[in-house]
């Protein structure tokens, strides 16, 4: 098989789907690997490293048998994809189902990490988790760089500086990494999540868990994800969180629901009540944001409060984010290429397949298109 990795050209995207280490692994399995010129440069992987690993540098990676991407193909990219090709990547099937409909028309088999089953066997392929790790880490770094004060307590000849207070909203993978990072930097950390299992995870990292919901969710009934709350319970959560947000120096919000708009957790009134100099990093900006004043892709200052709506946090640490992502890609491809044609009876492959044979194969994506 010829497996390729294109250069992701969207502004702000610096990750690459295959690293030189991934190339070595695939070449050792007997595959030919094509990497588009400069595909890994922004992530710290020059073309020379790929050639040394056994790859061929090409101008057009879109005619390969298998194409590994970070983001969905553009219309121009889709024009080169051949019938029967396999596309694997973060394809946004639940956020942009129209793009999946267009991808189906190419006749390619599309494997989306967003619909990968959350089962033990698929953990090593879970790109959502690996990239959320990068997001959670970088969110704290972004907040710290904008905060006009230290995170740790400092005792100096000029007196004692109290530690900053960090609040993490959402204790999934990104949230837990944000907690760990803020704790490493010396902040006093508290966190909130609607899932009952999150309290133990939060406290195991040395943070205080905030009870702000009347009926905690059982994560096992939602595949590990949080579910959308009823309107009255959502209002209760927002009201209960407000004093904690106001008392914080930095807030990292990570609450998202797959295929839905991000839940509102921070109102405009709450932002106005925060101390000048406080920072909010809203990692859910791409799906509407957890803060009412978030502007996706922008950083705004309201009454002295900085609100970061960055859409490329994982790309700020593109080297390590790409390394983790490439391992996810390689593991999934090794499973997909065990048989020819691809075995869509396999639980993992059936779960992440969103197009095959010119059709949309994922029921949820089909339903979203019908609703639209």
Q: Do domains 2-115+318-357 and 135-312 have the same CATH topology?
A: yes
Q: Where are the alpha helices (DSSP H) in 10-159?
A: 20-28, 47-53, 75-78, 97-104, 127-146
Other beta carbons less than 10 A from residue 341's beta carbon: 10
Are the beta carbons of 262 and 288 closer than 8 angstroms?
Answer: yes
Residue 229's H or E segment, with its range, is: none
Instruction: Please tell me whether the peptide bond between 198 and the residue prior to it is cis, using omega within 30 degrees of 0.
Output: no
126 given a catalytic annotation: yes
pLDDT at 217: 63
List the catalytic residue out of 29, 37, 123, 218: 123
Measured in degrees and rounded to the nearest 5, phi and psi for residue 361 equal -100, -10
pLDDT at 221: 47
pLDDT at 244: 98
Mean pLDDT (whole number) for 11-30: 97
- Collapsing DSSP to helix, strand or coil, 69 comes out as coil
CA-wise closest residue to 5 among 328, 329, 341: 329
Mean pLDDT (whole number) for 127-147: 98
Percentage of the chain modeled with pLDDT above 70: 96
Residue whose token pair is 């790309």? 315
- Collapsing DSSP to helix, strand or coil, 33 comes out as strand
The structural domains of the chain, with segments of one domain joined by +, span 2-115+318-357, 135-312
- The pTM (predicted TM-score) of the whole model is 0.94
Residue-wise pLDDT for 283-311, tens only, equals 999 999 999 999 999 999 999 999 999 99
CATH number for 135-312 (one of 3.40.50.720, 3.90.1150.10, 3.40.50.460, 2.60.40.10): it is 3.40.50.720
129 given a catalytic annotation: yes
Residue-wise pLDDT for 230-251, tens only, equals 889 999 999 999 999 999 999 9
201 given a catalytic annotation: no
59 given a catalytic annotation: no
Beta partners for 109? Answer: 86
Residue whose token pair is 């799906």? 287
Residue environment code for 252-263, b if the CB has 16+ CB neighbours within 10 A, otherwise e: bbbbbbbbeebb
Are the beta carbons of 266 and 168 closer than 8 angstroms?
Answer: no
315 given a catalytic annotation: no
The CATH number that domain 2-115+318-357 falls under is: 3.40.50.720
List the catalytic residue out of 126, 249, 282, 310: 126
pLDDT score of 216 more than 90: no
List the catalytic residue out of 225, 312, 346, 364: 225
List the catalytic residue out of 24, 78, 118, 316: 118
Residue-wise pLDDT for 82-104, tens only, equals 999 999 999 999 999 999 999 99
List the catalytic residue out of 129, 131, 248, 323: 129
């Amino acid at each position: 098989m010829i497996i390729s990795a294109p250069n992701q050209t969207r502004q702000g995207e610096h990750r690459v789907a295959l690293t030189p280490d991934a190339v070595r692994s695939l070449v050792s399995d007997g595959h030919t690997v094509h990497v588009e010129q400069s595909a890994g440069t922004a992530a710290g992987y020059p073309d020379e490293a790929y050639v040394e690993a056994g790859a061929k540098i090409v101008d057009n990676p879109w005619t390969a048998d298998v194409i590994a991407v970070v983001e969905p193909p553009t219309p121009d990219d889709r024009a080169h994809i051949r019938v029967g090709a396999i596309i694997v990547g973060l394809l946004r099937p639940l956020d942009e189902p129209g793009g999946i409909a267009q991808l189906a028309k190419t006749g390619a088999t599309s494997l989306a990490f967003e619909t990968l089953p959350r089962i033990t066997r698929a953990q090593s392929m879970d790109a959502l988790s690996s990239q959320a790790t990068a997001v959670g880490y970088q969110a704290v770094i972004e907040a710290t760089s904008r905060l006009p004060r230290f995170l740790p307590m400092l005792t100096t000849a000029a007196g004692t500086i109290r530690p900053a207070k960090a609040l993490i909203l959402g204790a999934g993978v990104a949230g837990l990494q944000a907690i760990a990072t803020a704790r490493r930097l010396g902040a006093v950390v508290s966190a909130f999540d609607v899932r009952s299992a999150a309290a133990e995870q939060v406290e195991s990292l040395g943070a205080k868990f905030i009870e702000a919901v009347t009926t905690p969710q059982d994560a096992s009934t939602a595949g590990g994800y949080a579910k959308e709350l009823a309107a009255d319970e959502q209002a209760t959560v927002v009201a209960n969180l407000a004093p904690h947000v106001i008392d914080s120096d930095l807030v990292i919000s990570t609450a998202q629901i797959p295929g839905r708009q991000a839940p509102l957790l921070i109102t405009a009134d709450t932002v106005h009540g925060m101390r000048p100099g406080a920072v909010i990093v809203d990692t859910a900006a791409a799906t509407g944001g957890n803060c009412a004043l978030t502007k996706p892709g922008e950083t705004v200052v309201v009454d002295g409060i900085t609100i970061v709506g960055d859409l490329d946090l994982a790309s700020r640490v593109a080297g390590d984010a790409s390394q983790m992502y490439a391992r996810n890609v390689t593991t999934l491809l090794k499973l997909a290429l065990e048989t020819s044609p691809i075995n869509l009876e396999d639980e993992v492959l059936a779960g992440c397949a969103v197009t095959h044979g010119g059709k949309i194969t994922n029921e949820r994506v089909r339903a979203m298109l019908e609703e639209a």
